[in-house]
Structure 1
Amino acid sequence: MYIQNVSKTYRQKEVVQEVNLKLSEHKLTAFIGPNGAGKSTLLSMMSRLLEKDCGDIYISGNEITTFKSKELAKKLAILKQSNQIDLVLTVRELVSFGRFPYSQGRLTEEDHRLIEEALHYLGLDNLADRQINELSGGQLQRVYIAMILAQDTDYILLDEPLNNLDMSYAAQLMKVLRRLVDEKGKTVVIVLHDINFASSYADEIVAMKAGQVVYHDITEQVIQKPVLDELYEMNIQVCELAGKRFCLYFNE
């Protein structure tokens, strides 16, 4: 995925400013940075949920505006922060929504196979016939991930999927995303607030501040004290444990 000179203005404020970015294929890339940095706005433009003011975004060599909606949905899936569905659905029925770009609701044998495969991959076999309003927040988030896995796209974009999850569910979800990259060759782009999850699971990190990309490199090059201190304007201590860097951050 390649982003060229992309900008977005809200109410005369430029929230994304001439971003140029080339994201590595078959990697997990984390977007980090303070609130208001433009991370979620950029992700929304990358998925065409939000119209960009200028610039170009390419996937598979084609600019995203050239795709018909159904064809784009076969290339790219996005999970936004808020996913309220006010319908009485079972877990399996919600996961089956991921096949809509292919079957338009008339599920084929191949659709059913991919739905069951996604349920199994996310460890949801025992919950498949439960109604989604009976699930915990962590369980429901796994169902949404299963839905986009069933969608079978090359690119998966996630906007702060760890919000409202406890540490256990958050870690489980990051492990699943890591497996999607390593085992299924997906390209995953995720907006994260917790830099320790980014440090532990991401291959590369894009650091944004005030609407601009200020750093983009492999994780080890971004998770460094001078970089993070400047990015967040805080005193951040970077330590190492079991070959992974983690951060302690506090106000002085």
Structure 2
Amino acid sequence: MIEIEHLTKAYYDQVVLNDITATISRGGVTSIIGPNGAGKSTLLSVISRLLAADNGRVTVNGMDIATTPGEQMATCLSVLRQENRFTSRLTVEELVGFGRYPYTKGRLNDDDRKRIADALAFLNLTEFKDRFLDELSGGQRQRAYVAMVLCQDTEYVLLDEPLNNLDMKHAVAMMKQIRRAADELGKTIVLVIHDINFASAYSDYIIAMRKGQIVYNGKPEEVMVSSVLESIFDTQVEIEQVRNQRIAVYYR
């Protein structure tokens, strides 16, 4: 499990994470929701060691992320950042192969190649494996990045806004693949997501944040109710989404 203890992070005089304590259980899909500026991506970045906390502690299966060697953590926890840019011109297969780096340091063996092929097949990318990333649509490219993370073969997978730049059709397809990864591959998936509709339809647990704090943490049916949502969001726009959750449920 992921245990977060009294986590604090600030930028100059702006507190972004304010004494956060929470536990994320093993298995399933946990979505982190909340308005812009709530601290969602910062929390995920601290858990994944992309950012250092000012105070507090995070452990993953008992390993302190601040003191555990990077190579060891990379075989337990993987992360997909919100923004991903590669300066080199890579094929889809080459990109996915980067997921094996913690194990091979670039020297792929037959087992690695099989895992790359399996990740490509899982995300329905086999036919695109020889294409360059800049030749793909936004949805195909996003699937390639997720395939790279899954190819790393870690128990914990952190995804920051995996639905970015995806239309409804491709967003639904992505959430189905994320759900499959949890159910069929046994991954513990934690994602930051803005669409509370998708969070309600595909998550096992939801962490709701506001102003740098966790204000609710529970199952979708406990969080996705009007009284709770009204205390999380400042406007009615996001709240209206959950009233139309039959859309995502239908596609699921």
TM-score normalised by L of structure 1: 0.94
1:9 alignment partner, SS class: strand
Partner residue, 1:87:
88
Q: Check conservation: 2:78, 2:157, Cα contact below 8 A.
A: yes
Q: Check conservation: 1:154, 1:186, Cα contact below 8 A.
A: yes
1:65 alignment partner, SS class: coil
> Which 10-residue stretch deviates more, 63-72 or 99-108?
63-72
Percent identity over the alignment is 47
Mapping of residues 1-252 of structure 1, within 5 Å = 1-235=2-236, 236-237=239-240, 238-239=242-243
Letter in 1 for 2:162: P
Distance 1:141 1:245, change over 3 A: closer
Letter in 1 for 2:12: R
Report the alpha carbon displacement of residue 234 of structure 1 after superposing the two structures with TM.
Answer: 2.8
* Alpha-carbon distance in 1 for matches of 2:84, 2:168: 20
Q: Is the strand fraction higher in 1 or 2? A: 1
Report the alpha carbon displacement of residue 245 of structure 1 after superposing the two structures with TM.
Answer: 7.7
Report the alpha carbon displacement of residue 21 of structure 1 after superposing the two structures with TM.
Answer: 0.6
Letter in 2 for 1:92: E
Q: Check conservation: 1:95, 1:144, Cα contact below 8 A.
A: yes
Q: Check conservation: 1:223, 1:245, Cα contact below 8 A.
A: no
Report the alpha carbon displacement of residue 230 of structure 1 after superposing the two structures with TM.
Answer: 1.2
Report the alpha carbon displacement of residue 239 of structure 1 after superposing the two structures with TM.
Answer: 3.7
Distance 1:33 1:245, change over 3 A: farther
Q: Check conservation: 2:30, 2:206, Cα contact below 8 A.
A: yes
Report the alpha carbon displacement of residue 241 of structure 1 after superposing the two structures with TM.
Answer: 6.6
Structure 2: runs of 5+ lacking an equivalent: none
* Alpha-carbon distance in 1 for matches of 2:124, 2:225: 35
Q: Check conservation: 1:3, 1:21, Cα contact below 8 A.
A: yes
Letter in 2 for 1:192: I
> Which 10-residue stretch deviates more, 237-246 or 4-13?
237-246
1:74 alignment partner, SS class: coil
TM-score normalised by L of structure 2: 0.94
Q: Count residues in correspondence.
A: 246
